[in-house]
Amino acid sequence: MASSLDVVILVAGQGKRMHSDVPKALHRIAGRPLASHVLSTLRTLSPRTIALVVGYGADAVERELAAPDVVFVRQDPPRGTGDAARVALAALPADGVTLVGLGDVPLVPADSLARLAAIAREGRVGILSARVREPFGLGRVIRTPQGDVCAIVEERDATPQQRTVDEINTGFIAAPTPLLTRWVDRLTPHNAQGEYYLTDIVAMAVTDRVPVETETVTDEASVLGVNDRAQLAELERIVQRRMADALMRDGTTIADPARIDIRGDLSCGRDVSIDVGCIFEGTVRLDDGASIGPYCVLRDVTVGPATRIEAYSHFDSAQIGRNCRIGPFARLRPGTKLAEDVHIGNFVEVKASTLGAGSKANHLAYVGDAEFGSRVNYGAGSITANYDGANKHRSVLGDDVHIGSNCVLVAPITIGDGATIGGGSTIVQEAPAGQLTVARARQVTISRWQRPRKKPKADQGA
Q: Which residues are catalytic?
A: 363
Rounded to 5°, the CA angle 327-332-335 comes to 150
Q: Quick one: which H or E segment has residue 283?
A: strand 278-286
What are phi and psi for residue 121, nearest 5 degrees? -65, -20
| 38-43 contacts at long range (C-beta below 8 A, 24 or more positions apart) | 38/9, 38/101, 38/102, 38/103, 38/104, 38/105, 38/106, 38/108, 39/9, 39/65, 39/67, 39/70, 41/108, 41/109, 41/110, 41/113, 42/7, 42/9, 42/99, 42/101, 42/110, 42/113, 43/69
The residue count of the chain comes to 462
Q: Which residue in 81, 114, 110 sits closest to 12, CA to CA?
A: 81
Do 100 and 75 form a contact (C-beta atoms < 8 A)?
no
Is the previous residue joined to 93 through a cis bond, with omega within 30 degrees of 0? Answer: no
